[in-house]
Structure 1
Amino acid sequence: MKQIKKIGRGCLYLMVGYFLWSCNVERNSNKNALQPNIVLIVTDNLGYGDIEPFGSEIIRTPNLNRMAKEGRKFTHFYVTAGVCTPSRASIMTGSYAQRVGMDYNDRDGNVLRPISPYGLHPDEVTVAEVVQQAGYATGIIGKWHLGDQKPFLPTRQGFDYFFGIPYSDDMTQVVGQRIGERLDGKRWPPLPLMLNEEVVEAGIDRNLLTKRYTQKALEYIEAHKDTSFFLYIPQAMPGSTKKPFASEKFRGKSQGGPWGDSVEELDWSTGEIMNKLEELEIAEHTLLIFTSDNGAPMGEDLSGMERGTNRPLYGRGYTTSEGGFRVPTLMWWPGTIPGGTVHGELVTTMDLLPTFAHLAGGKLPDARIIDGYNIWPLLKDTASTQSPYDVFYYYHQEQLQAVRRGPWKLFVPLEEFSQHPHFREGEGHEPLLFNVREDISSRHNVAKANPKVVEELMEWAQKGRRDLGDTNNPGKNQRPPGKIENPVPVSMK
């Protein structure tokens, strides 16, 4: 009888143990369903036509092909600036760079340089802080470029972990010496590689950046496979140098020259991340996004591949052209995002923060304007195709140059400008109107045939100026950048 009672108690313990285990499994399953891992890969200056899913016939990108086949391609995905710093500010804050004061400053111009007193204001709430507060581990591996001084570093902006460089890979000590007194060039340090807030290497080998970032990303994913994590991978390549860098395995191998070598290594890197997610059996609980911070600068020969291509879009990176603002974007989430699908409505990098907040169960920042939208319905549903945007603004630094609404993009008349993708000096007094859906290369100005559209978009332009400002005229809803006194070079101790 005693033996039977022991067996009975043993069975009861087993049943209770199994019940608790199954509840835990269910809780974890629900947690993963509600709080997916998020991996965001942002390349540097990659053009719309630089990868096979968007038309490249020269550069080989088999892993991105797979991503497109198994996920969703976005053909009207926009950044908010044609250059690095303001574009990345929008990724972090969900707002136009003009709103958060990261579009231009008198010391640096439109991108932050080493030893700048400016950076993303610590009071801004970043996408990393939003998901961190929802219980996520947060890491950044790659290029930051939102301030190299300690109050502005990723570790002060919601990231638990930072491995990478604080600004662009072309901002080296050699370049600084060539610049001289301007921009404190003589004080620029050797290109620093940082771990959290410390410089661990100075004067790094840029040929190894993609390879090293990839290895660190795989280690990070492995270490956090049992929790919800947000991993931001702002790659340094193809970058801003005339000849991008690549490791020995890829150097000299692409038909696209050094630019192609660099892009093909980025494709390899993305494939390694996809494989790691599958190996760890967390791919079905992970949203993976691949995009660029702005379009390719392109070489003197616009039909060549010297510095990438935005074809068939019009224009170079660093401008308000479609080629500068519309970037190649892929999203992959096996079992959730329908495979082999294409989304052709306007969405932007400003939508990442509200979308990630929704997926993480986080709260949007209070008492401030967020310009982006939660586009989760557009990711998971093949039927939801309408853009959430009434209007989208194209700024060059502080100047509003163009407005898009629906298929229409209007370049507003300007008295003067420092740079423009369509107007030359002495031009710009008449509006330019393009239907960027039907006229993908922006060749046909149809302003005269559509006066009501021009009038409507000019009214939206005025609304944008009042809200976000325009040259020498502050907007009513702008916030300041961060600024400190006496910035110092980021150097090894």
Structure 2
Amino acid sequence: MKHIINKESISSNLILGALILGLFTISYTLHSQDSQLPVKPNIVVIFADDLGYGDLSSYGHPTINTPNLDRMAYEGQKWTNFYVGAAVCTPSRAALMTGRLPVRNGLTSSKVGVFFPDSHNGIPANEITIAEQLKSAGYATGMVGKWHLGHKEEYLPTNHGFDDYYGIPYSNDMDHTGKITSMEDYFGRYTDTYEERTPEEFNVPIIRGTEVVERPAQQNTLTKRYTEEAVKWIKDHKEGPFFMYLAHSLPHVPLFVSDEFRGTSKRGLYGDVVEEIDYGVGQIMNLLEAEGLDKNTIVIFTSDNGPWLPTGISGGSAGLLREGKGTTWEGGMREPGIFWSPGTIKPKLVTGIGTTMDLFNTFSNLAGVPMPTDREMDGVDLSPVLFGNEESPRNEVFYYRGPELYAVRVGAYKVHFITEAGYKPNTRVEHDPPLLFNIEEDPSEQYDLAKKQPEEITKIMKVVKQHNSKMVKGPDLLIDRG
């Protein structure tokens, strides 16, 4: 029999075969990517307070010795473009906990920077915290340290997804027993005489659950006790999965350190404090390894905002970045970001962009919990970077100060619509056209490119327009005091 070859039939079969092969390849690739992800890993977030971008030896400090954090960075991922959601404590912590810009839920203000002991409000009940999200997936949830999202019982961590809480409800310099008449007086107390401060000058409470168990907090041993509490809690919940949020109260001023670390750093008291925090990180790493938990536990280290520069030698350093806490310059909102999980997280230096808000999305994915669909979320899932070879899906950062958008980064370029010093009055400047910096080439933000590259401003303005079209700001919850 003579076979007749139909060219159209061959072509159709080739196309069909290619499609089948393509679908098989896509399916295999997706399966491979999924199989790389840890299943409901334990999660430990360690959050410092007012630590600068340049305050770790792995981020360039010449005299502060942080061997445990350096080890985390070497064995895991060191992110060099990692941001927080705001440049001061309360809104930054709100961004971390909710995965949302704090301007959306009212935890930011143009009049009051943070919650105080006489504040009436706290984190809204309808906000979904990381703890609540993970708890819905069967996680045990514990918090140790500084909360700063409301000190009244209904706002404390145990009413927002955490099973257990031990720590102080706001900053360690609050409830001051002396009289402060001006910001100059406030900063003067620490700039020149920071080593003379005593815990009794600050009547801050330590709370366990919802009950005050110590007042004033004996702050010289606070870092040590926070670490001990976190270690004990992890041991008690080692069967997992668990989420531990360890939020240190330091190196926020006033600076306190235990006797074992006093005078041990070449950087003075500030260095002593940072090195004690680093030692505690090592204690947690050692525990995870001893219990065989390290390969299914992700440890993240970062800080809430940049260094408090007006406190002088009592404050930290943003390294080569400009300015510090309270500002939307890079030094105010770019922080160390270290991710560690041996054998799971791929070791590398990551120069892509990430934020603390992205942790909500990332943890939700790892825990198998759907993202909320009834509200605008501001994070992205960093799993493809942490566990694969992908680039960061984030390309934008929005820098809010209070309820106002001061600056925006898109890719390598950043525009400043408004600039203002952290704690100096009458320094606000509105820029038209906005300032423009290439912060990959110029991370210190010294060379304005607005006249040379106006097309980059145009590109960013399109992003801003899209962002503003979805922005609904919450009512100011910080202003209600007294």
Tell me which residue corresponds to 2:357: 350
2:452 to 449, 455, 459: 449
The offset of 1:398, in angstroms, is: 1.6
Tell me what 2:334 maps to: 326
Q: CA–CA distance in 2 between the matches of 1:257 and 1:484?
A: 37
Distance 1:76 1:484 in 2: 32
Structure 1 residues 61 and 50, CA gap change in structure 2 (3 angstroms): same
1:129 to 127, 132, 135: 132
Cα offset for 1:419?
5.6
Does the 8 A contact of 1:393 with 1:464 survive in 2? no
**1:207 matched to which residue of 2?**
220
- One-letter amino acid of the structure 2 residue matched with residue 315 of structure 1: E
Give the counterpart of 2:155 among 152, 156, 169: 152
Any gaps of 5 or more consecutive residues in structure 1? 1-29, 181-187, 469-476, 488-493
- CA distance in 1 between counterparts of 2:256 and 2:146 reads 15
> Is 1:384 aligned to 2:390, yes or no?
yes
Distance 1:74 1:233 in 2: 20
Give the counterpart of 1:267 among 278, 283, 288. 278
1:317 equivalent among 308, 325, 333 = 325
TM-score w.r.t. the length of structure 1 is 0.82
Give the whole-Å Cα distance in 1 for the aligned partners of 2:324 and 2:244. Answer: 29
Confirm whether residue 51 of structure 1 aligns to residue 56 of structure 2.
Answer: yes
Are residue 286 (structure 1) and residue 297 (structure 2) matched? yes
Are the aligned partners of 1:319 and 1:419 in contact in 2 as well (CA < 8 Å)?
Answer: yes
Q: 2:473 aligns with which of 466, 474, 478?
A: 478
Aligned equivalents of 2:60 and 2:331: distance in 1? 14
Matches within 5 A, 1:352-431: 352-381=359-388, 383-389=389-395, 391-412=396-417, 424=427, 428-431=431-434
| Structure 1 residues 485 and 309: alpha-carbon distance in aligned structure 2, compared to 1, 3 A threshold | closer
Amino acid of the structure 2 residue aligned with 1:265: E
TM-fit CA distance, 1:362: 1.7
Considering only aligned residues, what root-mean-square deviation do their CA atoms show, in Å?
2.5
Alpha-carbon separation, structure 2, partners of 1:307 and 1:410:
27
Deviation at 1:460, TM superposition (A): 2.9
How far apart, CA to CA, are the structure 1 residues paired with 2:385 and 2:264?
38
Structure 2 CA distance, aligned partners of 1:430 and 1:169? 41
| Residues 481-492 of structure 1: pairs in structure 2 closer than 5 A | none
- Distance of aligned partners of 1:420 and 1:265 in 2 relative to their CA distance in 1, 3 Å threshold: closer
Instruction: Describe the SS at the equivalent of 1:395.
Output: strand
1:245 aligns with 2:245: no
Matching residue of 1:97 = 102
- 1:441 Cα offset (Å): 1.2
Q: Structure 2 vs 1, CA of residues 105 and 151 (structure 1 numbering), >3 Å: closer, same or farther?
A: farther
Question: Does the C-alpha gap of structure 1 residues 121 and 309 become closer, same or farther in structure 2, counting only changes over 3 Å?
Answer: same
Q: Over residues 209-233 of structure 1, what are the superposed CA-to-partner deviations in whole Å (9 max), with x where a residue is unaligned? A: 1000000011001100112100000
TM-score, normalised to structure 2's length? 0.84
Q: Does 1:78 align with 2:91?
A: no
| Whole-angstrom CA distance in 1 between matches of 2:436 and 2:393 | 20
Q: Which range moves more in the overlay, 81-90 or 440-449?
A: 440-449
Alignment check: 8 A CA contact 1:80 1:86 kept: yes
State whether residues 109 and 476 of structure 2, in contact with CA within 8 Å, keep that contact through their aligned partners in structure 1: no
Closer, same or farther: CA 126–453 of 1 in aligned 2, 3 Å: same
Report the Cα distance in structure 2 between the residues aligned to 1:257 and 1:293, rounded to whole angstroms: 22
Change (3 A) 1:313 1:413: closer
* Distance verdict in 2 for CA 1:111–1:412, change over 3 Å: same
Q: Is the CA contact 1:119–1:148 (under 8 Å) kept in the aligned structure 2? A: yes
**What amino acid is aligned across from residue 101 of structure 1 in structure 2?**
G
Pairwise CA distance, 1:455: 2.0
Distance 2:445 2:94 in 1: 27
Cα drift, residue 178 of structure 1 = 3.6
Which residue type is aligned with residue 275 of structure 1?
N
Distance 1:198 1:484 in 2: 26
Q: How many aligned residue pairs are there?
A: 428
**Residue type of the alignment partner of 1:213:** Y
Aligned-residue offset at 1:201? 0.7
Q: Is the 8 A contact 2:85 2:96 kept in 1?
A: no
Q: Deviations over 1:179-212 (max 9, x none)?
A: 69xxxxxxx9921100000001110111111000
Q: 1:115 aligns with which of 118, 121, 124?
A: 118
Do the aligned partners of residues 131 and 481 (structure 1) sit closer, same or farther apart at CA in structure 2, a change above 3 Å counting?
farther
> 1:479: how far off?
3.7
- The alpha-carbon deviation at position 481 of structure 1 amounts to 6.6
1:324-371 CA distance string (max 9 Å, x none): 1100111100111123x1111111011011111111112222311111
Counterparts in 2 of 1:33 and 1:380: CA distance versus 1, 3 Å: closer
